[in-house]
Amino acid sequence: MNKSTINKTLWLSGLVTGALIGAYLYKNKDDFGPQKEKLNSLLGDFQALVGDLKTKLLEAKSEGLEATKTALQSAKDKVDKVK
């Protein structure tokens, strides 16, 4: 699978999952009425967690990119010295 297909699959699965969860919560809204504040708190915590995860993934991507650049430059320098 190429990167584009994986991204589309993940996006579509997230959309479907969100729709299913929304439908379930709407169908059972009377059961969740007393727990609405707790559910809102949990959703807020989840959003914060996803935001932190996104930040960490972006940092890891940047670090990996820099490490790759450094390794390639080092390899190039070694090849240039051999010539």
Q: Which domain holds residue 55?
A: 3-82
Domain count, the chain: 1
- Cβ contacts of 1 within 8 Å, gap of 6 or more: 9
pLDDT tens for each residue of 11-46 = 999 999 999 999 988 888 777 666 777 878 888 898
User: What is residue 82's three-state secondary structure?
Assistant: helix
Q: Dump pLDDT digits (tens) for 46-71.
A: 899 998 999 998 899 889 889 999 99
